[in-house]
Amino acid sequence: MPPDELHAAHGNWQDRLLHRPVCDLLGCRLPLVLAGMDGMDGMGGVGGVACAELAAAVAQAGGFGFLGMVREPVALIREEVAQLRAAGVARFGVNLIPSATEPALLAAQVDACIDLRAPVLGLFWDVVPELIRRVVDAGMLVVQQVGSVDDAHRAEAAGAGVLVVQGVEAGGHVRAVQPLVQLLPEVLASARVPVLAAGGVSDGADVATLLALGAQGAVLGTALIATHESFAHAHHKRRVVEADAWQGVGRVDAVVGAGEQLRRIAAEAAQMLRTAADEPPPIELSSPVCYAREFELTRDDAIDRASLAAELDALLEGARAAVRLTLSDCASVEGAGDVQSQLATLRRDEVKWCGMLMAALQSMGAEASTRTSPFLAEAASITDPGERLAALLRRRQGDATQRLRALLPQVVDERLSDGLAEMLRAYQRG
């Protein structure tokens, strides 16, 4: 197979594992979004870190790009949008911060975005309902970044079509006061629109974990500063690469092309979500099997769709609880080699099962649960990390294993059956 065909085949496989409904809403293949990072000197008029070159590179690699236009003059917004469209990018966003912008300039910026028919407007900090409603009425999609549940409720009520939940780990402007792993589930519990996650996201493992927790995608900031297309100063890029601490920045170790960075993150995330039923295509180019095909429920003893969806949701909620436990405990037991290694392995496993279960539910046309099993609260009451780990293993080998054993004989679909069987074997091993 020629290299370009092999890459395309594997790319389709990765796209299938990572694609979420928000991708269709934004108009991108991958649920990876460039944060609308604004100018570093705070003076405006020179363009932010996320200018047309970086947004175009992200879009061409399959992601979605925001232009960082906070406090920038209207002329620059028009110029940047023109450059994006000249590069063949039809779907993009313009990011503004109302509370950080003089009112007259903000009004002119919004007027320009509407006049330019920019597809998406990104907003942050204060939720301004009248602004959101005006932009939505003009036919644009509003993506509102929030740092609290209250902000999320007000943004959605005003008409925001997508929420970005920002954790305290984020760089740049930080409104959140909670870690992302705490705030994200709280917002997901009541949100009726797609939710993206931001804050300390720097590699594919981060992305896969956020998808497992119920986010529909990830917003990348620092991970895309150290790229050739970024408008950040060379000194700033070098300092990002040299840093070895401060949330996810320590995992950015080279200045590379934005497309290369995005493809690496996507490949890592897809690999973490992969089950044996999702092996990439063989060397001979063949049509990839798609989860979107209809589930076949024709055998007399096959489970009905509603019951199957309920069973998959129950398994998903349990796996999601395990992801949250292992994620928080990995940090608290740093240096405790054996326990930390076990937790990291379990986290990878449970992220994979979450991905498999959500993909199966999506292929059935069912909406995956955003809840987390009550087991999370039970386990959180155990103070010792080692004892919490033991409780998690007991759950896997007990209730979860019994549920899988009862469900498997009723599942007709071969791909789902293979995935559940792999999950059962892992749980039986402990």
Q: Name the least confident of 6-10, 149-153, 270-274, 397-401.
A: 6-10
Average pLDDT on 203-232 reads 93
- Whether the predicted pLDDT of 42 surpasses 50: no
Residues 220 and 330 in one domain: no
Structure tokens at 152: 């999320």
Where is 196: in which H helix or E strand?
Answer: strand 195-198
d(CA 215, CA 194): 8
Cα gap 199→253, rounded to integer Å: 18
Q: Would you state the pLDDT for residue 114?
A: 98
Assess whether 136 and 207 both reside in one domain. Answer: yes
pLDDT band at 252 (very low <50, low <70, confident <90, very high): low
H helix count then E strand count, the chain? 18, 8
Q: Is 16 exposed, middle or buried (0-12, 13-18, 19+ CB in 10 A)?
A: middle
Mean pLDDT of 209-231: 93
pLDDT of residue 222: 86
Mean pLDDT over the full length of the chain: 87
Q: Are residues 177 and 317 in the same domain?
A: no
Task: Report residue 341 as tokens.
Answer: 């290694």
Q: Give the rounded percent of residues in the chain with a pLDDT score beyond 90.
A: 62
Phi, psi angle pair for 280, to nearest 5°: -65, 160
Structure tokens at 51: 């200018």
Q: Do residues 315 and 195 both lie within one domain?
A: no
Which region among 85-94, 99-108, 114-123, 390-399 has the lowest average model confidence (pLDDT)? Answer: 390-399
Q: Does residue 267 sit in the same domain as residue 313?
A: no
pLDDT higher than threshold 60 for residue 292:
no
Q: What is the mean pLDDT of residues 127-152?
A: 97
Three-state secondary-structure class, residue 96: strand
Calculate mean pLDDT across residues 125-154.
97
- Give the per-residue pLDDT at 228: 87
Average pLDDT over residues 29-50: 74
pLDDT for residue 296: 61
> What are the tens digits of pLDDT across the range 393-417?
898 989 999 999 999 999 999 989 9
Beta bridge partners of 95: 68, 122
Same-domain check for residues 201 and 322:
no
Confirm if 123 and 134 have CB atoms less than 8 A apart. no
Q: Could you give the 3-state DSSP secondary structure of residue 286?
A: coil
Do 205 and 118 lie in one domain? The reply is: yes
pLDDT-derived band at 291, boundaries 50, 70, 90: very low
Structural domain includes residue 279: no
Is the domain of 18 the same as that of 151? yes
Neighbouring CB atoms inside 10 A of 184's CB total 26
In a shared domain, residues 411 and 315: yes
pLDDT in tens, 121-138: 999 999 999 999 999 999
Looking at the structure, tell me whether residues 334 and 422 fall in a common domain: yes
For the record, the structure tokens of 77 come out as: 């917004």
Q: Which domain holds residue 20?
A: 3-273
Q: What pLDDT was estimated at residue 1?
A: 37
What's the rounded Cα separation, in Å, for the pair 107 and 231? 26
Query: What pairs with residue 141 in β-bridges?
Result: 120
- pLDDT above 90 (res 47): no
Name the one residue in this structure whose structure tokens are 């009550």. 374
Is pLDDT at 285 greater than 50 in this prediction? no
Adjacent-strand bridge partners of 365: none
Q: Is 200 left (phi over 0), alpha (psi -120 to 50) or beta?
A: left
283 in a domain, yes or no?
Answer: no
Q: Residues with Cβ < 8 Å from 269, sequence gap 6 or more? A: 17, 18, 204, 205, 207, 208, 211
Q: Domain ends where: 273, 297, 328?
A: 273
Which of 68-82, 206-220, 245-259, 376-390 has the least mean pLDDT?
A: 245-259
Of the listed ranges 13-17, 54-58, 262-266, the least confidently predicted one is 13-17
Dihedral of the alpha carbons of 363, 369, 374, 375, in degrees to the nearest 10: 30
- Contacts with 280 (C-beta within 8 Å, 6 or more apart), sequence order: 9, 10, 13
Say if 295 falls within a structural domain.
Answer: no
| Inside any domain, residue 219 | yes
Q: Is 169 helix (H, G, I), strand (E, B) or coil?
A: coil
The answer to whether residue 387 scores a pLDDT higher than 90 is no
- Is residue 216 domain-resident? yes
Helices 305-332, 385-395: axis angle to 10 degrees equals 160
Domain of 333: which CATH number?
A: 1.20.1260
Q: What is the pLDDT of residue 338?
A: 75
In a domain, 281, yes or no: no
* Residue 158 within any structural domain of the chain: yes
Could you tell me the CATH number of the domain that includes residue 130?
3.20.20.70
Provide mean pLDDT across the span 247-267.
82
Same domain, 320 and 386: yes
pLDDT at position 92 is 98
Beta bridge partners of 166: 198
> Residue 126 is encoded by which pair of tokens?
């204060």
- Which residues lie closer than 8 Å to 2 by C-beta, 6 or more apart? none
Crossing angle of helices 258-273/3-18, nearest 10°? 60
| Residue 429's pLDDT band (cuts 50, 70, 90) | confident
Last residue of a domain, one of 273, 294, 327: 273
In a domain, 297, yes or no: no
Decide which of 252, 273, 294 is a domain's last residue.
Answer: 273
Instruction: Tell me: do 213 and 347 sit in the same domain.
Output: no
Gap between the Cα atoms of 318 and 213, Å rounded: 11
Total number of domains constituting the chain: 2
Per-residue model confidence (pLDDT) at position 3: 39
CB atoms within 10 A of CB 100: 16
